Structure 1
Amino acid sequence: MSQQYPQGQQPQGWGQQPPQWGGQPPAPKKSNAGKVIGFGCLGAVALLVVLGAVGMALGGTDSGSDTGSDGVLEVTASPSEGAAKEKAPEAEAEAPKGAEGDVKITACEVDSAMQWPSASLDVTNRSSKTSNYIVQVEFVDKDGTRLGEGTAALNNLAPGQVSKEKAQGLTQVSGKVECRVTKVTRYAS
Structure 2
Amino acid sequence: MSYQQPQHPGWGQPQPPAPKKAGAGKIVGLSCLGVVGVFVIIGVIASLFGGTNEGSASGSNPAVTQDAAESGESEGAKADDAKADEAKEEPAKDAPVIVTAKKVGFKKSILADGSDYTSVQITIANGGDKDLDVNPLYFTITDTDGGKHTAELGTDEDQIDTVELAPGENITGTVTGKGTFTPKYVTYTEGLFGDGVRGNVS
* TM bin (shorter chain): 0.3 to 0.5
Higher strand share: 1
Determine which structure has more spread, i.e. the larger CA radius of gyration. 2
TM-score by length of 2: 0.36
